[in-house]
A and B are shown apart, each in its own frame.
Chain A
């Protein structure tokens, strides 16, 4: 069988998995992809996972997949699922283990010519200043009470403790603190994992990247973000909620796994464990998830502070001279209560984005004033070699994807296959040949993150642009990378 026999073509970039594909689907699936990408998506059995998500009670009107979609454990990575809060469910697996894994972008007035001669020094400074790697401990020492504050107040806690300023909070999704956080819903184990890890980058695919603007597609929108010219230097931060978020997800997948039967919900995959949003279990998960999300925003806020410190120390200029302003911070693993129009009716929904980025259009009240005219910045990291994009949200995204778009390039190759096909040292050499400096805690980890392991980010972003679910504004390429 081929995917051609299964999918209905909606248009060149949107394909439907009909409800007849699998018995039990409540709604069809919709995959945003080019025809060329579908063969790979099909072979990876992503249709199956998109179909499984369509089993969730209260899901409307489609189970969605972004162009960077790939096989995940349960939910696909790159999936979006919206459920009615009145009678729908929330699923921790629809958010993922790394709650509020996300991306933060810092602008500078610096040019690549100024920074290139110091890039090794700068990359080393970032590596030394921001704790990273497996088992690393943070420079922050919070007590139990302070951890409660972090989980409730998020970025604002960091700012009050000297990490960054109010403008950073403004330029963060949810102003760096999602409502409804209740630390009593977070287990002692999650707290124990979270306390020593606050202010750490972590390992795996998390990174810091010094990059230069390579292309500007829309000057006006770029200007709203403080990006004026090609060659301008930016710094990208990608990390999440560390062990605290992982443990919250672990705890609630187990708890909701037991609730599934009680609520008479039938699921094709146990990792989709869920509970009605209005149930005690559903409410507890959302309160705990908010705690982990706020912890992640605090984490990125503290890391931003150390990134600024590193730039000041290495380049010998003040923060003001260098114009070190945060452009934006987006979450790409999160569930949010949002209002959307479905079939002409305004509905309050729980929008699960697992490996997907919110992409609200110009004029939306939930985005900072600076971006009201151009749309919410969407930060899309690619891989270490090929660079990243800044896009903005669109009205079309609002209408077709609950204001969501892709979150990155999406993996093509398993980590083991990536390690077999290249060694960490080869990756360093290949990047060095292109003028990119890398510092990594683990060479094996570096090989797992080689460019070849990922889909081509240019292609992924082009599809979101053609499909209209986000509009590309800037492309940037790496100069120096710190990997955990």
Chain B
């Protein structure tokens, strides 16, 4: 069955989440990151003028997903970086290496929507039964 969408939003009373899909885990993790930035900004308005190399480790795949997204939240909050494209270079159960492409916030072109405090472990899921599907909820 072909994957028809990259990600969708999950609603939650206090917060919001992302269900992201991919043919493999790398693609699903990249789509989760893109889904997360779609909450922050119109991703189409983000140019690829800069990049950040990211390497994170965690004890299992679910933690790796949360840690990866929290690293991106940190880069947004501390360095004002918005990202629109993600290339996952390496991904195994304990380690992720990626390059995220984007640019610093420019208030003349970017209309920021929602701030995200963190990705949480609540109901986090990595499901490989039909393609790859990952779920994460945010505190916003």
Contact in complex: A415, B16 (CB < 8 Å): yes
Interface residue stretch chosen among A19-27, A242-250, A341-349, A397-405: A242-250
Contact in complex: B14, A270 (CB < 8 Å): no
A253, A258, A442: the one contacting B113 at CB < 8 Å is A442
Which residues in A have their C-beta under 8 angstroms from that of B107?
Answer: 135
Closest to B66 in A: A254
Contact in complex: A73, B115 (CB < 8 Å): no
> In chain A, residues 68-122, which have Cβ atoms closer than 8 Å to a Cβ of chain B?
70-74, 77, 93, 96-98
Which residues in B have their C-beta under 8 angstroms from that of A247?
Answer: 74, 77
A97/B112 contact (C-beta < 8 A), A413-B13, A416-B9 known:
no
Return A75 CB to nearest CB of chain B, in Å: 9
Contact in complex: A270, B62 (CB < 8 Å): yes
Contact in complex: B12, A189 (CB < 8 Å): no
> In chain B, residues 1-43, which have Cβ atoms closer than 8 Å to a Cβ of chain A?
9, 11-16, 40
Which residues in B have their C-beta under 8 angstroms from that of A73?
Answer: 12, 14-15, 120, 122-123, 137-139
Which residues in B have their C-beta under 8 angstroms from that of A385?
Answer: none
Return A201 CB to nearest CB of chain B, in Å: 12
- Complex CA–CA separation, A203 to B139 (angstroms): 13
Return A200 CB to nearest CB of chain B, in Å: 11
Return B81 CB to nearest CB of chain A, in Å: 11
Contact in complex: A411, B14 (CB < 8 Å): yes
The number of chain B residues with a CB under 8 A from chain A is 38
- For the complex, is A414 an interface residue (Cβ under 8 Å from B)? yes
Which residues in A have their C-beta under 8 angstroms from that of B120?
Answer: 73-74, 93, 253, 271
Contact in complex: B63, A246 (CB < 8 Å): no
- Complex CA–CA separation, A151 to B4 (angstroms): 48
Contact in complex: B14, A77 (CB < 8 Å): yes
Contact in complex: B122, A417 (CB < 8 Å): no
Contact in complex: A270, B124 (CB < 8 Å): yes
- Complex CA–CA separation, A189 to B114 (angstroms): 21
Which residues in B have their C-beta under 8 angstroms from that of A415?
Answer: 15-16, 114, 140
Return B57 CB to nearest CB of chain A, in Å: 10
- B contacts with A: majority SS: loop
Return B79 CB to nearest CB of chain A, in Å: 8
Which residues in A have their C-beta under 8 angstroms from that of B140?
Answer: 204, 415
- For the complex, is A412 an interface residue (Cβ under 8 Å from B)? yes
- Complex CA–CA separation, A105 to B116 (angstroms): 27
Which of B9, B14, B59, B107 is most buried by chain A, counting CB atoms within 10 A of its CB?
B14
Contact in complex: A417, B11 (CB < 8 Å): yes
Return A187 CB to nearest CB of chain B, in Å: 10
- For the complex, is B118 an interface residue (Cβ under 8 Å from A)? yes
Contact in complex: A135, B105 (CB < 8 Å): yes
Contact in complex: A411, B13 (CB < 8 Å): yes
A254/B105 contact (C-beta < 8 A), A44-B13, A193-B77 known:
no
Which residues in B have their C-beta under 8 angstroms from that of A128?
Answer: none
> In chain A, residues 192-213, which have Cβ atoms closer than 8 Å to a Cβ of chain B?
192-193, 202-204
B77, B114, B121: the one contacting A270 at CB < 8 Å is B121
> In chain B, residues 65-91, which have Cβ atoms closer than 8 Å to a Cβ of chain A?
66-67, 70, 73-74, 77-78, 80
- Complex CA–CA separation, A249 to B139 (angstroms): 11
Contact in complex: B13, A273 (CB < 8 Å): no
- What are 27 A-B pairs at a CB distance below 8 A? A44-B13, A71-B13, A72-B122, A73-B14, A74-B120, A74-B122, A93-B120, A97-B139, A134-B113, A135-B107, A189-B74, A193-B78, A246-B117, A246-B139, A250-B118, A269-B121, A269-B122, A270-B62, A271-B120, A411-B13, A411-B14, A414-B13, A415-B16, A415-B114, A415-B140, A442-B112, A445-B114
Other 16 A-B pairs with CB < 8 A, given A74-B122, A257-B63, A415-B16: A70-B13, A71-B13, A72-B15, A73-B12, A73-B15, A73-B137, A189-B74, A192-B78, A203-B115, A250-B70, A253-B120, A254-B63, A271-B122, A414-B11, A416-B11, A416-B16
The 6 closest A-B pairs by CB, nearest first: A270-B121, A73-B122, A73-B120, A271-B122, A97-B117, A414-B11
